[in-house]
Amino acid sequence: MSKMKSFILFILALLLVCHFPVEAGNHLWEPSHQSSLTHARWAHFDNHRRTSTSPWPNKLIPICYGNLEAERELGPYIKAAMDLWYAAGLPAEYKIQRAHHLKCVLERPDVLWVYIDPGAFFSSVGKEKPKENPRRGGPVAALHISHNQLGDPAANIAHELGHAWGLLHENHNPVFWAPNNFDKVFKFRCDHLADFDDKIMGLQQWEIWGHDGICRSSEAAMKAQFSAYQYLPIHDAVSKHGWYVTEDDVDWNSIMMLPSWVGGNHRGSPLFHLDGGLIGANLVPSAQDVEGIRHLYEYRLSYEAELLLNDPRAFEYSLFRQYAPGCGH
């Protein structure tokens, strides 16, 4: 436990009350050659706030498939995806198991509903509470094997399972952004997002680029259902890391990292290294991805005090979910 206390970063993600399908985020960790005790960083939802999500009890995600086709098609990939997590170091006690059909019917809020949706690719972050989206009634994962975010079906689903366990995207960490959400360790090109042209139609410049514009504020982007919310920082997050981070503090190896080649339009990619270099896709979880999940499920009592920092808006938020960039919705 004391070792875990040396982890530097805590991000509290906040859940936006959304009434549209969203997806749970990616998230990154540092390469295993570095000490995970001194360089660990990750983003997961804040379990100590009155949020609308929570960790899964007993490190178990019970899943129900929407239909037989979903089970037949997605089942093997979900297993392969969990094997990627185990290979990266996630203990075997973390399990995803098919729930009894009665549980699926009678205990909907306590299961992850997995279904095929060729037009979307997203998952709830953690055990989303039903009040956040009464129509869904509980946590969901909309998956399909043709999604090409990472270029590999098992890797794509491993990324989504990272969300299902509770992880967010590395780039949601506000310490990686300069004031007013300008570039710091990433180079973000909002006008390169696939849905930029559609979303700015009819908007004034300040509604796009202003402090609360859809290219600057994750809340505004979320409200507009604009994919920028997958990139912009979640400022209702707390970091012990401080603001003195550099590119070296980013876990570029995380499976929760968004590679440059997804989510862009004819102008180019939306996210780069600060020097303009492309961010590659990671096909397996990193050591710090695993640490992030373990922190949420095993060490959450160790950081309660840190979570009580500056977060005036936190209680207004419920669940953060996100669309996967580059998906065909």
* Contact residues: Zn ion, CB under 5 A: 25-26
Which uninterrupted H or E stretch holds 84? helix 68-87
Give the nearest distance from C-beta 44 to Zn ion in angstroms: 13
User: Which residue number has the CB closest to Zn ion?
Assistant: 26
Q: Where are the beta strands (DSSP E) in 59-209?
A: 60-65, 95-98, 112-116, 122-123, 140-143, 186-188
Of the two residues 25 and 174, which places its CB atom closer to Zn ion in the complex? 25
Q: Are 159 and 149 in contact (CB under 8 A)?
A: yes
Of the two residues 74 and 200, which places its CB atom closer to Zn ion in the complex? 74
Closest among 154, 135, 136 to 145, alpha carbons compared: 154
Q: Are 10 and 314 in contact (CB under 8 A)?
A: no
Q: Are 239 and 16 in contact (CB under 8 A)?
A: no
Of the two residues 26 and 53, which places its CB atom closer to Zn ion in the complex? 26
Give the nearest distance from C-beta 117 to Zn ion in angstroms: 15
Of the two residues 121 and 317, which places its CB atom closer to Zn ion in the complex? 121
Q: How far apart are CA 29 and CA 185, in angstroms?
A: 15
Rounded to a whole number, what is the distance in angstroms from the first to the last CA of the chain? 43
* Burial state string for 181-215 with b = 16 or more CB within 10 A and e = fewer than 16: beebbbbbbbebbbbbeebbeeeeeeebeeeebbb
Q: What are phi and psi of 143, to 5 degrees?
A: -130, 160
Of the two residues 215 and 324, which places its CB atom closer to Zn ion in the complex? 324
Of the two residues 26 and 282, which places its CB atom closer to Zn ion in the complex? 26
Of the two residues 70 and 161, which places its CB atom closer to Zn ion in the complex? 161
Three-state secondary structure call for residue 113: strand
Closest among 113, 119, 92, 91 to 101, alpha carbons compared: 113
Give the nearest distance from C-beta 324 to Zn ion in angstroms: 5
Of the two residues 57 and 151, which places its CB atom closer to Zn ion in the complex? 151
Give the nearest distance from C-beta 25 to Zn ion in angstroms: 5
Which uninterrupted H or E stretch holds 134? none
Q: How far apart are CA 56 and CA 117, in angstroms?
A: 24
Give the nearest distance from C-beta 325 to Zn ion in angstroms: 8
Give the nearest distance from C-beta 158 to Zn ion in angstroms: 11
Of the two residues 62 and 162, which places its CB atom closer to Zn ion in the complex? 162
Give the nearest distance from C-beta 149 to Zn ion in angstroms: 8
Q: Are 223 and 210 in contact (CB under 8 A)?
A: no
* Vertex 80 angle, CA 289 and 44, to 5°: 25
Three-state secondary structure call for residue 171: helix
Give the nearest distance from C-beta 73 to Zn ion in angstroms: 20
Give the nearest distance from C-beta 148 to Zn ion in angstroms: 13
